[in-house]
Amino acid sequence: MSRGTPRARGRRRLTAALTVALAACLAACSQTEAGEDSPPAPEATPASSSPASFPAATAPDAATAIPTATPTVVPTPAPTPRPTVPVRPGTLPEARQVVPPVRLALPSLDVDMSVIDVGVAETGQMELPDDPAVAGWYRYGADAQGAEGRILIAAHVDEVGYPIGPLARLRDVREGETVSIAMADGAARDFEIQSLTYYEKTALPADELFARSGPAALVIITCGGPFDSATGHYRDNVVAVAVPR
């Protein structure tokens, strides 16, 4: 292996020396620039695990403390006595037993017929016995022994398969004549005929005749007036009203 010429060895030594000098110069420049341009690092503050605290207010001096007001005691007013409310017994009065009428009599017309209690037919009208010889007392109306309301008794004037009914003679009743009803318990009640009126069936004052309030009265109803062969019914209702004697 060749060791090189003296000139070559000299060049290598010079190159190495320049390299070392340049490195030393760069190191010195870096330290100088860092020392001149960088601000001094702040002192580290010890870390604390407790939250930041605000300065507490200084308590006032005893000489400058504001005195507290003494509370005023308000006397409690005396309770006002409440009025005494009378208490009624909680027991309801016994319901009055309704006694139905069982017979209707108009002596002047020679009418004496059975009466049964009836309600409302499927048509919404007052139910009536098929037999014209039997009258019906409307059970949802006034009590036959009561002091108010209309006591309603009605019957057919005739019906297919039956003889003419007793109330066919109602048209002949006169004002002032007596009509009586007999009760199931044996009691009787007399009335005096006050009026006799013909109403077309479409104009019958049902609210008035079926009233359960107002002065007591006996209302007797049957059919009358012209007979309509097309419908098979009488045009009118014959209504007699009687008041207690």
- In the chain, the domains with their CATH numbers are 101-244 (2.40.260.10)
Contact criterion met (CB below 8 Å) for 189 and 181:
yes
Percent of the chain with pLDDT strictly greater than 70 = 62
Q: Which amino acid, residue 170?
A: L
Q: pLDDT value at position 75?
A: 72
Please state, as a whole number, how many other Cβ atoms lie within 10 Å of the Cβ of residue 116: 15
Residue 214 reports pLDDT greater than 90: yes
Contact criterion met (CB below 8 Å) for 170 and 222:
yes
Burial class (CB in 10 A: 0-12, 13-18, 19+), 142: buried
- pLDDT category, 97, cuts 50, 70, 90? confident
Contact criterion met (CB below 8 Å) for 155 and 113:
yes
Residue 36 reports pLDDT greater than 70: no
Could you tell me which residues come within 8 angstroms of residue 172 by beta carbon, excluding any fewer than 6 positions away?
109
